[in-house]
Amino acid sequence: MKKGNRKRIIGGIFTGATGVSAFLIIAIIILILVVIILGGKETFSWEFLTAFPEDGMLKGGIFPAIYGTAMLVLIMSVAAVPFGTLTAIYLTEYAGEKSVLAQTIRFAVRTLATVPSIIFGLFGLGFFIRFVGTGMDTVFLGGELKWGQPNILWASLTMALLTLPVVIVSVEEAIRAVPRELREASLALGATKWQTIRNIVIPGSFSGILTGTILAVSRGAGEVAPILFTGAAYYLATLPASLSDQFMNLGYHIYILSTQSSNVDQTLPIQFATTLVLLLLTFVLNFTAVIIRSGIRKRRAK
């Protein structure tokens, strides 16, 4: 009787602990949102989104950071999406499912996904700027410094490396969701493998390519470490106009305002509002990706 009671109490405590833990997760999210919204709502306005910073970034808007982030993820997508899609097609359509090659590629993709983002930043500095950029300057410009320094191109390519696994995994999943019957129908009509991939498989996995792109963009918009050394700027009076220009960035801007500003306390509302913009951006992107992805899963389940 006593023993039974004790067991029941232990069971009750355990159940309670699991519930509290789960509840805490929701509470933390809500807390973060409430703090950021309260802190930023005064400053958040149309003008804030469209104006340049003023008074040594103590006032004004964050338009250059929004623009720079948009350009960064755009150039990044142009590089990562085709590259990732091609890799995913190779993995699913050409490499044998259990072949050593496919296993190796999968291992590489998984490893790439776990590399800390600051390492990508250092890699970008070493490979893109010092090796490729300086190399280009030496070969094409006779040593004049143009590409061998941080810019939006190298930052985007570095970010592309970081987001590649996201693209590859999403596209792979979508390609696998294309029913075998459709490939067989195409092949049975005398289509070659390439014709089948081009006409049936790629159009059929379009939503997966889209999901991968959105997830990559959302990841790329939020990461700061990879662009620290490769192209993000403290403050620029003009928007980047060429691939060899530096750029401002939302995440980096928050970091700058909170650590490098002449008056950190005065910039607090701007920090909150910038964070709100960044959060809204990634939330909306992720939410869209989740909706598209659940559509793909439903289709595959049929």
Partner 1 sequence: MKEFKIRTQDLTLFYGEKMALNSISMDIPEKEVTAFIGPSGCGKSTFLRTLNRMNDLIPNVSITGEVMIDGVNIFDKQIDVVNLRKKIGMVFQKSNPFAKSIFENVAYGPRINGINNRTELQDIVETSLKKAFIWEEVKDRLHDSALGLSGGQQQRMCIARTLAVEPEIILMDEPASALDPISTAKIEELIFELKRNYTIVIVTHNMQQAARVSDYTAFFYLGELIEHGKTRKIFTTPDKKQTEDYITGRFG
Instruction: Decide whether 37 or 95 has the Cβ nearer to partner 1.
Output: 95
Shortest CB 102 distance to partner 1, Å: 12
Q: CB count, 10 Å around CB of 284? A: 12
- Contact (Cβ atoms closer than 8 angstroms) between residue 112 and residue 161: yes
Shortest CB 109 distance to partner 1, Å: 22
Shortest CB 292 distance to partner 1, Å: 16
Instruction: Decide whether 132 or 191 has the Cβ nearer to partner 1.
Output: 191
Instruction: Decide whether 7 or 300 has the Cβ nearer to partner 1.
Output: 300
Instruction: Decide whether 96 or 116 has the Cβ nearer to partner 1.
Output: 96
**Is residue 203 classed exposed, middle or buried when 0-12, 13-18 and 19+ CB atoms within 10 A define those classes?**
exposed
Instruction: Decide whether 205 or 249 has the Cβ nearer to partner 1.
Output: 205
Shortest CB 93 distance to partner 1, Å: 11
Instruction: Decide whether 2 or 302 has the Cβ nearer to partner 1.
Output: 302
Angle between helix 100-114 and helix 152-176 axes, rounded to 10 deg: 130
Shortest CB 89 distance to partner 1, Å: 16
CA 79 → CA 36, 85, 160, 179, 237, distances in Å?
Answer: 33, 11, 6, 28, 27
Instruction: Decide whether 8 or 297 has the Cβ nearer to partner 1.
Output: 297
Shortest CB 196 distance to partner 1, Å: 9
Find residue 60's DSSP bridge partners.
Answer: 53
CA pair distance 53, 186, nearest whole angstrom: 57
Instruction: Decide whether 26 or 189 has the Cβ nearer to partner 1.
Output: 189
Shortest CB 156 distance to partner 1, Å: 34
Shortest CB 207 distance to partner 1, Å: 11
Residues contributing to the site for partner 1 (CB under 8 A): 96-97, 179, 181-192, 195, 199-200, 203-204
